[in-house]
Amino acid sequence: MSTFSIAIVGAGPAGYFAAQALQNLQTDQLKFKIDMIEKLPTPWGLVRSGVAPDHPKIKTVSKVFEKIATTVGFQLFCNVELGKDISTDELTSSYDAVIIATGSSIGRKLNIPGENLRGSLSAADFVPWYNAHPDYVNVEVPLDTDTAVVIGAGNVAMDVARMLALEPRELDITDTALHALDALHNSKIRTVHVFGRRGPEHAAFTSPELRELPKLEHTNVVIDKEEIKEAIKRAKSAGEIPKDVKSNLDAMMAIAINLGANHERTLNFHFLASPIEIKGEGKVEEIIFAVNKVQDGKAVQTEETFAVKAGLFVSAIGYESEPVEGIPYSNGKVENVEGRVSGTNIYVVGWAKRGPSGVIGTNKSDSATVIEHLVSDLREPKMNNGIINLLKERGVVHISQGNWEKLNSAEVAAGSSSGKPRIKFIDRKEMLGFADSLRP
């Protein structure tokens, strides 16, 4: 029997699905010892710090993660950072293969004048702020304005806009970070505008997300019916409309033709507009947009412009991976060929491999394919003990699976008295108090 040691860096969906794919390939003759390494004190990645609090069903995938984590041969090492606590070379020499599953955490820039004004921020900062990520607790989110603008036409942009536009009482029974919940309850925002550079037919929203919008109890959702009609015409002129595009356009039209109620809060969707400048004296006050037109199936910027008064500007136009020393990066992701990093025993899965695309489930098939390549490359197993001794020598305190289960139970218990699924810890020291020992 051969037992291979595999390190997975990143305890998010891609990492867990990679571990699951390895476990599924085990036989009487082939076993895997899996060490999952995560720089945060807690696992689950975007399921914990990215999924919007008002979508708890999506978070139930964590039950799958816990089953993977409690399978024989799996160890969790949270609060261990690659490039700081341990080097890439040390990992590659200690394991038969290393899988990078670190995702994409850096928000892409628009690179327009005024982007650094107070009140202009990235979804990469705003989303973890309301999701209790310990590194984003102190992000400044000015909510002392009546109007917010969100840039982007994907589900992240929609989550951001919805969190700003809904009545905060709808979040009281969720696991929204308490500091964010308090700020949102005191928010003066009543109008939120979402702008997409391209037409509705090219929006990256998914139809289930769109169909959820009319269920907002205290918010008008507005889409221009004529914009959707024109988008349908353009889509038809290009041939048969793809199923996902048709589903999106149908969902948008259902919103557009529904006059809805006369609520105090409004969420507006606009298309074919690109922000070209943010204006203001020390803070965001006005956004200048260029009107775009569709030409040969592409959005082309025109010279026509218009302005929107707003005090908060959130950009959700995509993410890039944060580079790690010893791993080649380009175009915001790890350089790879079908998940293999050339000339190494390093593999990559998820957003770090392909960029920020797809939903949580996309990572399952993606990881399974890469793991097949990895297993086919394996030869003779190394004889080593992984990183446990290195961590002890360096006095690196880590959260094990057992520690995490205690921390997790404490969060759930804290939330139960308030009717919440959990109240998340936001202080690293508090979280590390669940570790077995604070001494090397």
Q: Which tens digit of pLDDT belongs to each residue from 187-225? A: 999 999 999 999 999 999 999 999 999 999 999 999 999
pLDDT for res 437: 62
pTM over 0.85: yes
Q: Which tens digit of pLDDT belongs to each residue from 254-267? A: 999 987 778 999 99
Average pLDDT for 82-90: 95
CATH of 2-105+320-432, one of 3.30.950.10, 3.40.50.2000, 3.40.50.1100, 3.40.50.720: 3.40.50.720
CA 366 to CA 354: how far, in whole Å?
9
Model confidence at 377, pLDDT cuts 50, 70, 90, reads: very high
Q: Which tens digit of pLDDT belongs to each residue from 277-336? A: 999 999 999 999 999 999 988 999 999 999 999 999 999 999 999 998 899 999 999 999
Tell me how long the chain is. Answer: 440
Model confidence at 412, pLDDT cuts 50, 70, 90, reads: very high
Q: Where in the chain is the domain with CATH 3.40.50.720?
A: 2-105+320-432
Model confidence at 242, pLDDT cuts 50, 70, 90, reads: very high
Tell me which residue of 94, 112, 51, 75 sits closest to 277, measured CA to CA.
Answer: 112
Q: Where in the chain is the domain with CATH 3.50.50.60?
A: 109-317
Fold exhibited by the domain 109-317: FAD/NAD(P)-binding domain (3.50.50)
